[in-house]
Amino acid sequence: MTKYIRYRSASGVSYGILDGEDGETVREIRGGLLDGHAETGATHKLSSVKLLCPCQPGKIMAVGLNYRSHLGSRPQPAHPEMFYKPVTALQNPEDPIIIPPGASDVHSEGELVVVVGKQVKKASKDEARAAIFGVTCGNDVSDRNWQSGENKDLQWWRAKGSDTFAPLGPAVVTGMDYGNLLLETRMNGEAIQKQYTSDLIFDCASVVSWVSGWVTLMPGDLIYTGTPGKTRKMSPGDVMEVEIEGIGVLRNQVM
């Protein structure tokens, strides 16, 4: 299992591998997340660098209604129900989720996020599984009124795509069984979502395979795989944490 991060140090923006028993040492690598991972020899203390979103995707897709616990009275979908989030919605670990003007019912949605490692087009489930580079934590921030309220928008362009509505990180992890990880979302330390990724209606490979039938996925693309249970409205000052077993904690304060 390897943890990759993207960070800013005094020498600029780089990618690195988290090392050490406590995960506090960063070994710098050359190039990007999906390059050869050759090490430069430089090391940093994790506490001395600024964590950034761990990858820079060409596009972000997301799955709606992918846990039975999140369906409520809605019927289970026959296939993954997809939508887009703009890359400009990405937010770094520890940076704020900003509630935009006019938003009145903004919720967090803790999710496992897939990082695509190679071009995928019309892939079988096995081919899709092989194309997944790794996984990370994400928060699919959503304004419920713009999404489904009385005056809802035709599309979810701002309900799920406003700036800072896609926190991501802290690390992309490879070499793990992402099909049975405990996901927990906390608000001010209180657990408000808690479920295993084995409870996904459509697992990661199934989602990648389904999407690739119509939309070619490229290296670095992201797929937020859905949120469990019930979500809760956020308010300025709240601290949101999405923790996934083996990956780490994605923490953002609401402003």
Give the C-alpha separation, 113 to 242, whole Å: 11
- Helices then strands, each counted (H, E), the chain: 4, 18
The token duo for 215 is 């939309």
DSSP letter assigned to residue 219: T
Whose tokens are 């793990």? That residue is 176
pLDDT at 2 (0 to 100): 96
Closest CA to 99 of 193, 251, 228, 237: 237
Gyration radius from the chain CA atoms: 17
pLDDT at 68 (0 to 100): 83
pLDDT at 20 (0 to 100): 66
pTM confidence score: 0.96
pLDDT at 71 (0 to 100): 82
**pLDDT-flagged residues of the chain (< 50):** none
pLDDT at 43 (0 to 100): 95
